[in-house]
Amino acid sequence: FDRERIYERVWGLDGDGNSDTIMEHIRKIRAKFAAHTLHNYIETVWGCGYRWNA
């Protein structure tokens, strides 16, 4: 998912939101997963966005 799509789906707003907001939330979600598992579920796809890695 690209940042604009995440912004639209999560907040229901135009995709022109601050990408720093998305990056900060992704960082916090990753930290919560890291506390319970070594697996990296959220993968950064450079130039595209993020991918769920099951």
Map tokens 């907001």 to a residue.
21
- What backbone phi and psi angles, to 5 degrees, belong to 39? -75, 135
pLDDT tens digits along 3-41? 888 888 888 877 666 778 888 999 999 999 999 988 889
Q: Give residue 15's pLDDT.
A: 62
What's the CA dihedral at 26, 44, 4, 28 to 10 degrees? 0
